[in-house]
Amino acid sequence: MGQNNLQELNVIMMAPRGVGKTSLLAAMHEEFDSTFANAGLNTWVDDTVTLDKIIDCKYVLQNIGNRLQGEVTPTDPLQDPWSRDGFIFKVGSGGKPFMQIHFHDPSGEYYKPAATTAQKEYVKEQLRDCDAVVIAVDATALMEKKTGRVSSGEVGPWHQEVNDPDRVTLLLKDAYTHITKPRLIVFVPIKCETYMRNPADANSLVDHIQLGYSN
């Protein structure tokens, strides 16, 4: 249970540095109110450092290509990973919250072999304890090669470097060795508009995600 005896759902955002975890959170945050309102639910957002970063990120994303050019700054690593609150929002009805959803958005540096012991332990603990894992996937790195779109049965040559699926697999296997309850793992392609123009393209993207993370 979370604050004030609210049911709590913990989610960790997972991807190497620069793939776009915070941008993904910003896009999700943009849709929260309308999505939950359609189900007759209210949402409340806690004021955290991560929320400030999400708001800055949304401003950049909304203005890219419209005179203002910008780049989303990757989340900085911390010597004490536990000191960042993450992104917290509450869900309820009738003006009363009943659930708290806590997104943990660690720096992509934590997933590297050169990460500090504390950073590696933080990732392992969050993967072990969180109810869900959202893995951001750079679709361009997965779907493109120097000569254009990849064919079926192959992934882009930059997939290993950018998305680092082997490292993701290793971390999940290590964290889930002794778990006693199921976990939800969600693969979320970003920069994927080009590959979602019709059902055939979308199905191809799904097939390539399955191929790229087959291990």
Q: Rounded to whole angstroms, how far apart are CA atoms 106 and 114? A: 15
Write out the E strands in 82-143: 87-93, 96-104, 132-138
- Residue range 84-93: mean pLDDT, rounded: 80
Q: What percentage of the chain reaches a pLDDT higher than 90?
A: 35
pLDDT digits (tens, 9 = 90+) for 64-83: 554 434 455 555 544 555 55
> Over the chain, what is the mean pLDDT?
82
Structure tokens at 55: 């708001």
pTM across the whole model: 0.80
Write out the E strands in the chain: 7-14, 42-45, 87-93, 96-104, 132-138, 144-145, 148-149, 184-190
Looking at per-residue pLDDT, the higher value among 4 and 10 belongs to 10
Q: Where are the alpha helices (DSSP H) in 112-198?
A: 117-129, 139-143, 159-163, 165-175
CA angle, 22 as apex, 17 and 23 as ends, to 5°? 105
- Residue range 10-35: mean pLDDT, rounded: 81
Helix (H, G, I), strand (E, B) or coil at 11: strand
